[in-house]
Amino acid sequence: MLDLVDTLIESILDTGWTATPPPAKPELHFTIPDTDWRTKVLAGVGLKLNIYLYEVRENRNFRRGEWDPVALSDGSVALSQAPVYLDCHYLISAWSSTEDSEMTNPILDEHQALSEAMRVLLRNPDVVPGTFGIGGGVVFQNAHVYLSVAPPEPPRVLNDFWSTMQLPWRPAVMLIATAPLDLLLDQAPSPIVVTLIQRFSLVDSGAVEQRLDVGGFVVKAEDDSPISDASLTWVEGKQVAATDSQGRYIITGLVPGSHTFTAAAPGRTSLTRSISIPSDPPATHTFKLTP
């Protein structure tokens, strides 16, 4: 995720930079601005912009407990755990390969580069990575990434940053990129299922009965495409449900506990599974049939 945020920042600066100088578009680097870096700058030519990630913190304002519906390319919908939003703190500094002398003033070039970087970033306070051709999964590429440039909070990071780098103090622009970390990127998303719990209380009785309506999917094992007109049988209740065009089924009137279900479709091997209702995870409600 952090590498994707780096790529996004680089894309924003690269595409938004003024076409004609001054200032000329600098080289963009994501490295530690220490004495070794300064040596490399002086050995090269032109301007360089160093975008250094120095801190990452969770943004609690974006924390959510509910799951999000995510539209998939096949027209179905999946549930995804809400991502964690992180504040990525960057320090942007400009570096010229020109030595300071009576004839040249590299500081002016560096200030111009910093000013242009701020102009470009301030024009993009809310960006969607997918519009820049950046992937990284459905959640990240369709998310909103928020950029805060030169925030008014005291720049505590600069108090001893340059001394730690063993370099003279120099101006730098602070950038905070607030972006999501997809917690389920390494897992296949689970399709939405329905578990509707109905409670009934008899008149003049304290007893409460529960009945559950449960939904899920029957799909092809090789590509997860839906199987329409498949049958899903609740064995104990002798109830049979047919799937719709999206492969969805609904079984009604179950009581909490373990139940046996059989999915079948023409030309496919039937599949029988026991499911504990409603405690088992959504993935158990999806039946993948092999040829």
Residue, of 194 and 1, whose pLDDT is higher:
1
Q: In Å, what is the CA distance from 6 to each residue of 38, 46, 110, 132? A: 21, 22, 21, 13
Q: How many CA atoms lie within 13 A of 257 on its CB side?
A: 9
- d(CA 243, CA 42) in angstroms, rounded, equals 68
Q: Distance between CA 31 and CA 51 in Å, rounded?
A: 7
DSSP conformational letter for 61: G
Distance (Å, whole) CA 263 – CA 23:
66
- Local structure of residue 40 (DSSP, 8 states): H
Mean pLDDT, the chain, as a whole number?
84
Q: Percentage of residues in the chain with pLDDT exceeding 70?
A: 84
Question: Of 160, 193, 201, which is closest to residue 69 (Cα–Cα)?
Answer: 193
Choice between 26 and 99, residue whose per-residue pLDDT is larger? 26
* pLDDT for res 203: 59
> Residue 4: what are its φ and ψ, rounded to 5°?
-70, -40
Separation between Cα atoms, residue 117 and residue 17, nearest integer Å: 8
233: pLDDT strictly greater than 60: yes
The Cα–Cα gap between 59 and 56 comes to: 9
Phi, psi values for residue 40, rounded to 5°: -65, -40
Listing DSSP states for 209-232 in one string gives EEEEEEEEEEEETTT--B-TT-EE
- pLDDT for position 199: 55
> In the block, which residue shows the tokens 């809400």?
82
Instruction: Tell me if the pTM is above 0.75.
Output: no
Domains of the chain, residue spans = 2-181, 193-289
3-state secondary structure of 163: helix
**pLDDT surpassing 70 at residue 202:** no
- H or E element, residue 115: helix 106-122
Q: Are the beta carbons of 184 and 136 closer than 8 angstroms?
A: no
Architecture of the domain defined by 193-289: Sandwich (2.60)
- Are 97 and 44 a contacting pair, CB within 8 Å? yes
Q: What is the mean pLDDT of residues 142-166?
A: 82
Q: Indicate the pLDDT class of residue 36, thresholds 50, 70 and 90.
A: very high
- Mean pLDDT for 163-191 is 78
DSSP class of 5: H
For the beta carbon of residue 254, count every other beta carbon within 10 angstroms. Answer: 21
> Rounded mean pLDDT of 180-199?
60
Q: Which of 91, 84, 79, 38 is nearest to 64 (CA)?
A: 84
How many C-beta neighbours within 10 Å does residue 262 have? 15
Predicted confidence (pLDDT) per residue in 121-145, tens digit: 999 999 999 898 887 777 888 889 9
Spatial separation of the C-alpha atoms in residues 250 and 193, rounded to whole Å: 9
Q: What are phi and psi of 66, to 5 degrees?
A: -80, 160
